[in-house]
Amino acid sequence: MRTLLVKIKYDGRDFCGWQVQDGLRTVQAVFQETLWDVLKEQVPIRGCSRTDSGVHADEFCVSFATRCAIPAQRLPLALNAKLPPDIAAFACEEVPEGFHARYDCRGKQYRYLIWNAPLRDPFWRDRALWYQYPLDAAFMDAQARHYLGTHDFSAFCSAGSDVIGKVRTVTQCGVRRLPDQPDMIEFTVTADGFLYNMVRIMVGTLLQTAAGRLPPDAIPEILASRDRNRAGATAAACGLYLHRVLYEDKE
C-alpha cells in the first residue's frame, strides 16, 4: 500500500459542491468514479475541504491509499484522459502513510473575483461577481487589513454551522485590481481555517463598506460583536475560488 496526494482544479458552475449528495452532480462523486476506474480498485478518498455549489478551485487536494502501481507522476495524465472537461488533475505525489488531505492541512488561501465594470462580461459569467458601480480597491484593501490576526469570526459565519469554536487566525488578507485586467478586483485571504461562508461574508462586508452602507473601519466592531446581523450580506458563490492548500512541508 502507498498513500498518494492528487491536486485537482475544477470549474464549479455545474457542480453541487464537493461532497457526495444523492442524485446530484458533485466533484467528489465524479472524481471518485474516475479514480476508481483508473486504479481498478475502490478506495476511500479524503478531500481537503468542502466547497459549496458554484464555488471553484484552483487547487484542491485529495488523498487516498492504493495498491495501484501507476507512477505518481503519470496518474494525472491517466485521470485527465477520463475526467470531464470541468475537472483536471495537475499534480500527484507520494506522501507518508496515514496522511490525510483535510486533517493534515494547516491552512488555506481563498480568492474572490469581482468584475467591476459598468457592462457585464459574458466570459466571466458565473466565474466572477459582476459589480457595476465603481469600487475603490485601495480603500477596500485598507478595510480588509482589519481581518488580519486572531479573532472570533462568529459574525462572519452563516447560520446552520455546527462548528463550536469560531476563532481563526488570518495571516494574509488584501484587495487589488489585477494589473493585466484593471476591471477585475481580487480579494485574497489566508487563514488556518475558515467557517461556513466566512470568505463570502467577508467580501459582502467589504462591498457594503465600499458602497457606504457600513461606516469605514466598522469591521473591528463587527468582529467584536460576534453578531452575524452586523456584518454584510453573503456574496454570491460564483466569485469564490479555493486557491491554495497549505501543508507543513509544502509552503
Residues 23-61 have pLDDT tens digits of 999 999 999 999 999 999 999 999 999 889 999 999 999
Tell me the C-alpha distance between 142 and 108, whole Å. Answer: 22
Are 191 and 107 in contact by the 8 Å Cβ rule? The answer is yes
pLDDT exceeds cutoff 60 at 234? yes
| Cα Dmax for the chain | 59
- Tell me which residue of 194, 207, 213 sits closest to 234, measured CA to CA: 207
Average pLDDT, the chain: 96
- Tell me which residue of 223, 107, 109, 240 sits closest to 166, measured CA to CA: 223
CB burial of residue 250 (10 Å; 0-12, 13-18, 19+): middle
Tell me the C-alpha distance between 151 and 148, whole Å. Answer: 8
Residue 236 gets which letter from DSSP? P
User: Residue 248: what pLDDT?
Assistant: 85
Question: What is the pLDDT confidence band of residue 164, given thresholds at 50, 70 and 90?
Answer: confident
Are 174 and 186 in contact by the 8 Å Cβ rule? The answer is no
**Pick the residue with more confidence: 19 or 161?**
19
- Helix locations, the chain, DSSP H: 27-39, 75-80, 137-144, 198-210, 219-225
CB contact set of 241 (below 8 Å; sequence gap of 6+): 55, 56, 57, 58, 110, 111, 112, 113
pLDDT tens figures, 84-124: 999 999 999 999 999 999 999 999 999 999 999 999 999 99
User: Residue 251: what pLDDT?
Assistant: 42
- Residues classed as catalytic: 52
- The rounded Cα 50 to chain-centroid distance in angstroms is 9
- Tell me which residue of 181, 206, 236, 174 sits closest to 12, measured CA to CA: 236
| Residue 179 in grid coordinates | 494589473
pLDDT exceeds cutoff 50 at 250? no
- Tell me which residue of 12, 109, 114 sits closest to 56, measured CA to CA: 12
Question: What is the pLDDT confidence band of residue 160, given thresholds at 50, 70 and 90?
Answer: confident
Are 226 and 155 in contact by the 8 Å Cβ rule? The answer is yes
- Rounded to two decimals, what is the model's pTM? 0.95
Domains of the chain from N-terminus onward: 2-95 (3.30.70.580), 105-247 (3.30.70.660)
Tell me the C-alpha distance between 97 and 112, whole Å. Answer: 34
